[in-house]
Structure 1
Amino acid sequence: MRLRVTLNKCTTITLTLINLLILYLLWTTQSANKLQYTQDLRITTNVTTTAHDENELIISKNLMYKIIKKDITFVFRQYENYDNDLIASVASLRNMLPNSQIIILTDRFIYPVLKLNATIKIVKIMPSLENNYDQRNVLSHVKTKYIMFLSDSLRFTSVQVFIKMIQQLQLKSTQIVSVSVALSKQCYNVNIDVKRWTLQFINQSSNICDYVESDRQMILVKKKLLHSLTDAFMQPFPAAFYIQTSYLKYKVKLLDVSDNLIKPGRKLFTNVQNSWKYEQLNKDRWKDMCKKLGFKKIIHVDNSTDWFGCRKNTPRCFGTVVNKIPQYIYEGKWTPPCCLNALRQTGVRVLSELENKKLRYWLLDTSLLGAFHMGDILPWSYHIDIGLYREDVDKSEWLSRSATSPITDDEGFIWERLNNGHLYRVQFSHVNRIHVNLYTYTLTNNTFMVSRYNTTFNKFYSSFIKPLSRIKFIDYYVSAPNNIRHFLQLFFPNKHIDDPVKLLNVTKK
């Protein structure tokens, strides 16, 4: 009996020790794993550039795989319905990352219909009766920290390309990471002048820039960055995306990776019809983007210029002017460059006529102020003002013929006399009413007075234009009063003469 009790005690003690040993081993294993994860996380979130090459930063591969699988949503935006390689591109991605989260964005119903796995989400972002705001809100469908934009027709051969991009994005100095799959790629800096409605591309030899031009590329960003853009998914993509990020001073890091990590897929737009369709769509998208973002002029790296504003056969870019202040002034902008270009052409046409026919004329008002201050039209002007002798009107065929009814000259400019007095106006075209005003003056008792028309410069002594002087204006030397500063002082305070922007600020009040 005593022996049986002893055996029971030994068995109980032995089992207790075994259980304690098992608990100890489990605790040590969990502590080690927790420590490793903490170290991995610390390495990931506090990456430094002590390595010889930023692209070779050492980060736990296990943690990188976890981030790629759970923290990245892959988005296809850059593709065409009529000719795409989406099915093969998606299959290639899924072969590499079986459970990857994939979203395909579309402006309209995708046709021909794509036979895709049900786990792949298609988000229609254009408004329609069947499509409410929440359904169109792309970011509401993204639950991950990162978004990777993928161009169409890509083949993934290694997960290393994703790891390199994630590593690079961990650096505090990096907001956007791009990998180009095409042979032809170029980094540009972007100069955005909102006030002048102008977008300029500048060549950049560095791999850190504002804009990456490439037919096929991968772009990795943090989701929160997209919230700061006006429309992160605007077409043409990624051009519109890069323009918006460059405005906010976000830089792009263009990574060089081995061709073995990612390859181009099927060649697209190989027939003439699809190639033409793609070219036309791209032009229309650029035009639509410029309208939405407020660009009228785009200057390319070779200094060629694309205009997206008004022309001779279209109305000017602003409507009726109320109280002599155009709408764009209140928006904090200056005259749209297309309108300014039209005004310059109209000014050259009128001044050449006055010069060739030897009419006595002079610049007036803010046109003279612009010539005095900068030798050109003030960048917010929407018309040019010129004074001339009333008795010289008949020297010009176009002025004399327009006295009874408007007339179009050989270059399409419209010459007319307004009904409220001896004011003549020359317009850029019938449709585009950018214009030059010609005020006719008569001499009475050594004083020049404008004929039956109320203007700021309606009266001044004849000594200011006897004799006339010359001043640079629109790349020419034209007639002006002989004591320009004194003449301007009759109508503008000195502070406005020396800094015309102050005059603009006063006018807006």
Structure 2
Amino acid sequence: MRVRPSQAALAGGVALNLLLLLFYWRWGAPPPPSCRGPRAVPGVTVVLFAAESSEVADTLGTSRSFAALPVPVLLVAEVAPYPPVPLPAGVSLLRLRPALEGSPIRPELHVRTRHVAFVPDGARAVPGLLERMRDVLESGGNDGDGNGEQLRVVAAPVGTAPPRCRELRVDARGWTVSYGPAVPLGGSGTSCGALEGPSVLLLRTRDLFSLPLPLAQPAPASLFIQAAARRWRLRVLPAPFPAALRPPLSPHDAWKAADLAQNRHRRLMAELGVKREALADGADRWYGCTKTTPRCFGTVHARTPQYLLAGRWTPPCCLRALRETARHVVAVLEGSGVRYWLEGGTLLGAVRLGDIIPWDYDVDLGIYREDVGKCRWLAAAAAGTPVEDPEGFYWEKAPEGEFYRVHFSRANRLHVDLWPFYARGGTMTKDTWLGHPQDVEFPERFLRPREPLRFGGFTAMGPNSPRSFLELKFGAGAVENPEYPNPAVRRMREDGGPLGGGMGGEGVI
């Protein structure tokens, strides 16, 4: 049988299509050539971050030193250095700030090697030391420590000052980074969370660009925090890189450098979503809301703040403001003779933790309605006149109904709600009900007498038999079984478990 050319072409096309289908089924479709990243090659790319104008000469000295090894050197800057400087051979510039008429910035396309090293300004190259760091990383990269941590970063100090390590803990859910005390380096292969002082940091290129902020500055702090959040281990080698001799900065240049470092650090904390740094000496550095700024979250819908939907709890700056407002309101009420008690979820937090529930967004107090006139600020609010007291707290009648609200300030609307109850036939009731499940009447006997409870670092009055009071409000087992305010929107089990249950979002090295 003679096969016509058209039949042969048709049969060839069918066979080709079958082969293509087999290929896609077996191996998957290859990405278009324009979407492929550069193939990683052996070696280390040195990444330098451009310094300010007073230090450009040493940045160039560092880049020349490492380019002479030779290794590829990438100078990273927001914009091109000004005044313009000629880059040594083997050094390329990556500008992070995109130009309106330019192309999208894709830093990962500028690193072709399998490993990358962050090198601080002023360091000098040592032949073979980058390769030694790479070998340590690859020889220990699959060794876990039993806590789910793997070696992902190798560090080497710069200069002659003895390096010191700090423990570093990241609680992403709590918006907090905590540091342990600095301790001397213990010897070869020491692991720690953060290295104090300048250091060269080496990691795999694929690990670097798996981070959400791979080239954020200051680079060491950014890498340490992001590594700790992922439970990456960091190993420190004792062999140092030398540091260039540099003349001391003038007082003005020293001030400029310190101010720049502080501003960069604050910007990094904002980019990472860190509201509080807990220092080893017990002090705190805060980066969230204050009395002069709005609170960290917007209007709450369905009793579920936006941060809960993001898998986080109340920002610590907001909790601090709520505690301060509650302490102030309690002091004013007690000084005015207004009978009050911890209500609802606030009482639940006091019984369970002696504090605000970590995901709560306000504080609730019950008061006797007949006592409102005893407090000048409440009386003004009841008359429809919002008023700011001498401490800057803002008292007003709530727009939602017959109750009162005390804000942290005019600008920051974190608040304490004051619910006026009155007795009717031995039962405490009120005129405004917002439909919350725990919003129910209760026997006045729970307030005869009231009892002191620890709450948020001070003492406040609560009902007697608080557990029975809470079970009347929330149901049996309310104290032992934490749950978010509106389980229909988000349940606690979606975030990994109850209080203290080892929920996700925390890493420690």
TM-score by length of 1: 0.80
**Are residue 343 (structure 1) and residue 322 (structure 2) matched?**
yes
Q: Which residue, out of 90, 93, 112, partners 1:143? A: 112
Match of 2:504 in 1: none
Q: Return the index of the structure with the highest Cα Rg.
A: 1
Separation in 2 of the partners of 1:79 and 1:217? 16
Matches of 1:375 and 1:73, distance apart in 2: 52
- For the residues of structure 2 that align with 1:223 and 1:503, how far apart are their CA atoms? 43
Match for residue 426 of structure 1?
A: 406
Give the structure 1 partner of residue 102 of structure 2: 131
Write the deviation string for residues 144-168 of structure 1: whole angstroms up to 9, x where unpaired: 1221221111233x41433432332
Matched ranges for 1:4-19 at <5 A: none
Match of 1:176 among 130, 144, 153: 153
Please name the residue that 2:418 is paired with: 438
Secondary structure in 2 matching 1:368: helix
User: What is aligned with 2:45?
Assistant: 73
**What SS does structure 2 have at the residue aligned with 1:200?**
strand
Question: Which residue of structure 2 lines up, in the alignment, with residue 361 of structure 1?
Answer: 340
Cα distance, 1:411–1:189 mapped onto 2, change above 3 Å: same
- CA deviation map 1:124-147 (0-9, x unaligned): 1222224322xx322212221221
Shift of 1:498: 1.6
1:164 to 107, 132, 140: 132
| Distance (Å, rounded) in 2 between the aligned partners of 1:374 and 1:427 | 24
**CA apart distance, 1:349:** 0.3
Corresponding residue of 1:376: 355
Show the counterpart of 1:330. 309
SS in 2 for 1:329: helix
Is the contact made by 1:209 and 1:251 (CA closer than 8 Å) also made in structure 2? yes
Go from structure 1 to structure 2 and tell me whether the alpha carbon gap of 1:73 and 1:420 turns closer, same or farther (over 3 Å shift). closer
Q: Aligned partners of 2:378 and 2:154: how far apart in 1?
A: 61
Distance 1:254 1:270 in 2: 29
Kept in 2, the 8 Å contact 1:197–1:336? The answer is yes
2:382 partner SS: coil
Change (3 A) 1:92 1:227: closer
1:187 aligns with 2:160: no
The alignment of Structure 1 onto Structure 2 pairs a total of residues equal to 432
- Segment drifting more, 394-403 vs 446-455: 446-455
Q: Percent identity?
A: 31
Deviations 1:433-490 (A, max 9, x none): 0000111112222222113454643522222212222222122332222222222222
Deviation at 1:118, TM superposition (A): 4.7
User: Partner residue of 1:199?
Assistant: 177
Alignment of 1:108-123 (within 5 A): 108-123=79-94
Distance in structure 1 (CA, Å) of the matches to 2:294 and 2:426: 42
Decide whether aligned partners of structure 1 residues 111 and 420 sit closer, same or farther in structure 2, where only a CA change above 3 A counts: closer
Is the 2:303–2:486 Cα contact (8 Å) retained in structure 1? no
Any conservation in 2 of the 1:79–1:151 contact (CA below 8 Å)?
no
Residue of structure 1 in register with 2:8 after alignment: none
Q: 1:382 Cα shift? A: 1.0
1:414 is matched with which residue? 394
Aligned pair partner of 2:65 in 92, 96, 99: 92
1:493 equivalenced with 2:493 (yes/no): no
Provide, for residues 68-91 of structure 1, a one-character-per-residue CA deviation record: whole Å limited to 9, x for no partner.
x96122221263344231222223
Q: Is 1:239 paired with 2:208?
A: no
Deviation at 1:213, TM superposition (A): 2.3
Matched, 1:211 2:194: yes
Q: What SS class does the counterpart of residue 83 from structure 2 fall into?
A: coil
1:175 CA displacement = 2.5
User: How far apart are residue 346 of structure 1 and its match?
Assistant: 0.2
1: CA distance, partners of 2:76 / 2:250: 25
Give how far 1:184 is off. 5.5
Instruction: Say if 2:304 and 2:486, in contact at 8 Å, map to a contact too.
Output: no
Distance 1:506 1:372, change over 3 A: farther
Deviations 1:297-355 (A, max 9, x none): 01122222110000000000000111221111111111100011000000000111122
Structure-2 separation of matches of 1:123 and 1:130: 16
Gap regions ≥5 residues in structure 1: 1-68
Q: Is the 8 A contact 2:67 2:91 kept in 1?
A: no
Give distance in 2, aligned partners of 1:251 and 1:454: 49
Query: Any conservation in 1 of the 2:67–2:89 contact (CA below 8 Å)?
Result: no
Whole-angstrom distance in 1 between the partners of 2:470 and 2:51: 59
Contact 1:78/1:237, CA 8 A, preserved across alignment:
no
The farther-off stretch of 362-371 and 279-288 is 279-288
Q: Deviations over 1:78-126 (max 9, x none)?
A: 633442312222232344x2x4211111111111222223542111122
Q: In 1, Cα distance between the equivalents of 2:430 and 2:301?
A: 23
Rounded to whole Å, the distance in 2 between the matches of 1:413 and 1:137 is 48
CA distance in 2 between counterparts of 1:78 and 1:169 reads 27
8 Å CA contact 1:385–1:439 kept in 2: the answer is yes
- Whether the aligned pair in 1 keeps the contact of 2:433 and 2:439 (CA below 8 Å) is no
Q: Cα offset for 1:502?
A: 6.0
**Cα deviations by residue, 1:364-421 (Å, 9 ceiling, x for unpaired):** 1101111121111111111111111111112212212332201111110011123554
Superposition RMSD in Å:
2.2
Instruction: Give the number of the structure whose residues are more often helix, by fraction.
Output: 1
Q: CA deviation at 1:503?
A: 5.5
Distance 1:468 1:162, change over 3 A: closer
- Indicate conservation of the 8 Å contact 1:386/1:436, yes or no: yes
> Do the aligned residues in 2 keep the contact of 1:420 with 1:453 (CA within 8 Å)?
no
Q: Which runs of structure 2 are paired with 1:190-339 in the superposition (5 Å)?
A: 190-203=168-181, 205=183, 206=186, 207-214=190-197, 216-257=198-239, 262-267=241-246, 270-339=249-318
Paired residues of 1:370 and 1:376 also in contact (CA < 8 A): yes
Instruction: Give 1:198's aligned amino acid.
Output: T
Q: Distance in 2 between matches of 1:417 and 1:408?
A: 13
CA contact (8 A) 1:422 1:453 kept: no
